[in-house]
Amino acid sequence: MSTTHLDRRADPNSPREKAILVGVRWDDTSRQTVEEHLSELRLLTETAGGEVVGEVTQRRTRPDTTTFIGKGKAESLKWQAAELGCTLIIFDDDLTPSQQKNLQHVAGDSIKVIDRSGLIIDIFARHARTREAKTQVELAQLQYLLPRLTRQWTHLERQMGGIGTRGGPGEAQIEVDRRLIRSRIKKLQDELRHIADERAVQSRRRRNAFRIALVGYTNAGKSTLMNALTDAEVFVEDQLFATLDTTTRKLTLDENTSILLSDTVGFIRKLPHHLIASFRSTLAEVAEADLLLKVIDAATPQAMEHFTTINQVLEYLELNDTPSITVLNKLDAITDRSSLTQLQRQFPEGVIVSAIRRLRLEQLESAILEAYSREFVTDQLRIPIQAVKLLDTIYQSLEVKDRSYEEDTTILTVRGPKNIIQTLQARADGSQDS
Ligand SMILES: Nc1nc2c(ncn2[C@@H]2O[C@H](COP(=O)(O)OP(=O)(O)OP(=O)(O)O)[C@@H](O)[C@H]2O)c(=O)[nH]1
Ligand SMILES: [Mg+2]
């Protein structure tokens, strides 16, 4: 199966696909929220190479189970799209495979119906460069595609290509059946496990370092901050999901302290869950971090919503207990005093910086140093004889500075992340009880 994603619009002379966006205003959502979500969908569409020519919002109490927006509305949407010369209808909400199929049936053979998740996966496919990213994206695409594979869909892919049909089974696989896709999914999962193993070997080599990962909403300025703090030269772009891979660099805080800083893929609201799941190996640096820097674009009115999204994704990854510093970025773009005061009220612990203008980075560095001295400690581990098996793990995950004995107990003076020391001590105590 093909993993290359033929981009038919890489040729600047070929026209951009025209799209109409559809947002639903539920009873509990404000008009402003719907508009903000649609303008984010517009950015996503543009990042995918499309051109937005119309936006439609509709009020509903609940989604229609068969067509999401109702049959009549779907019909009129189709005519609007045709009139505007659109080849794409993009829903801000996720459609079930059967809703998507029914809507596609209404739209006919010259207009594609896709949803937000499909669009995000499409952007990931465009931006994937490394073997790891490509493998992860293909896995997410196939998992998304599997329940949606219909004759009409494959017909659309063959006839139209472009946004929403990029990747997936290539043209030669149009008649590919679900069984083949499932076996390809399995193969990709095996490959990712292999990549994860390689990564684990690399990370063991760095075991004694204090590790920090930048997390945040896409376009918040994580890579810019990475470049400002280290000499990483990570790719920065005013577009969504510019970064899909992880970069790690050494950051020297003072003559005695250097730590490892990692930049990685950004988050977005309603990030498809199987996409997060497929990106687990890229997110390994986040999982293993001793400290997270939650980077927020402080200049957008959605700063708080973005912060909530970051926390939701971290919760999904079961990483919400990792210590963190909230970094409010783009200080230079905040023009009025009152928004600044409001931000300080919303994020009293937040460190305000400008990554691009390198403003107040010393404040951030001292916050990092403070967290470092709190989280990275020298302590003693008492290992009873029943728990000697743990010694291997201890030597692998911590720096052992001294070793002595007291009757049946080995006493190790270790240096490393406080939470790892605590976990290992708890395990040692546990094996004593059993
Ligand atoms: N005004 C202003 N713009 C910034 C600042 N930091 C970053 N930017 C801009 O914000 C955009 C996104 O920056 P990136 O560093 O690529 O953001 P990111 O969080 O790595 O984004 P993804 O990798 O796409 O998720 C770029 O156009 C940057 O120039 C800042 O402090 N102030
Ligand atoms: Mg980036």
Report the CATH number at residue 295. 3.40.50.300
The partner residues of 384 in beta bridges, in order of sequence, read 409
Residue 423 CB: number of other CB atoms within 10 A?
A: 12
pLDDT digits (tens, 9 = 90+) for 14-43: 678 999 999 999 998 899 989 999 999 999
Domain co-membership, 148 together with 48: yes
The verdict on residue 277 lying in a domain is yes
- Any domain includes 78: yes
**CATH assignment at residue 68:** 3.40.50.11060
Which residue CA neighbors atom 16 of ligand 1 most closely? 236
Structural domain contains residue 247: yes
Which helix (H) or strand (E) element contains residue 296? strand 291-297
Question: Domain with 394 in it: what CATH number?
Answer: 3.30.70
The number of residues in the chain equals 434
Q: How many domains does the chain have?
A: 3
Looking at the fold, whether 343 and 221 belong to one and the same domain comes out as yes
Beta carbon of 324 within 6 Å of any ligand 1 atom: no
Mean pLDDT of all residues in 76-93:
95
**Nearest ligand to the CA atom of 215:** 1
Note whether 353 and 384 are same-domain residues. Answer: no
Residue 126 is assigned to a structural domain of this protein: yes
- The full DSSP string for 410-434 is EEEEEEEEHHHHHHHHHHHHHHHH-
Q: Flag whether 334 is in a domain.
A: yes
Does residue 228 fall inside a structural domain? yes
Residues 393 and 342 both lie in one domain: no
pLDDT tens digits, one per residue of 209-262: 789 999 999 999 999 999 999 988 888 988 899 888 889 999 988 887 888 999
Q: Looking at the domain assignment, is residue 186 inside a domain? A: no
Same domain, 56 and 94: yes
* Residue that finishes a domain, picked among 127, 149, 173: 173
Ligand 1 contact, 237 CB (< 6 A): yes
Ligand 1, atom 26: closest residue by C-alpha: 238
**Residue 275: pLDDT over 60:** yes
The Å distance, Cα 76 to ligand 2 centre, comes to: 39
Same domain, 147 and 46: yes
Shared-domain flag, residues 255 and 397: no
Pocket of ligand 1 contains residue 218 by CB under 6 Å: yes
- Would you say residue 8 lies in a domain? no
Query: Are 149 and 271 within one domain?
Result: no
C-alpha distances in Å from residue 312, one per residue of 89, 187, 268, 388? 28, 30, 10, 38
For residues 351 and 389, state if they share a domain: no
Average pLDDT along the chain: 87
Which pTM was predicted?
Answer: 0.86
CB of 50 closer than 6 A to ligand 1? no
Smallest CA separation from ligand 1 atom 3, residue:
330
* Nearest of 378, 338, 324, 329 to residue 356 by alpha carbon: 329
Task: Give the domain range for residue 392.
Answer: 376-433
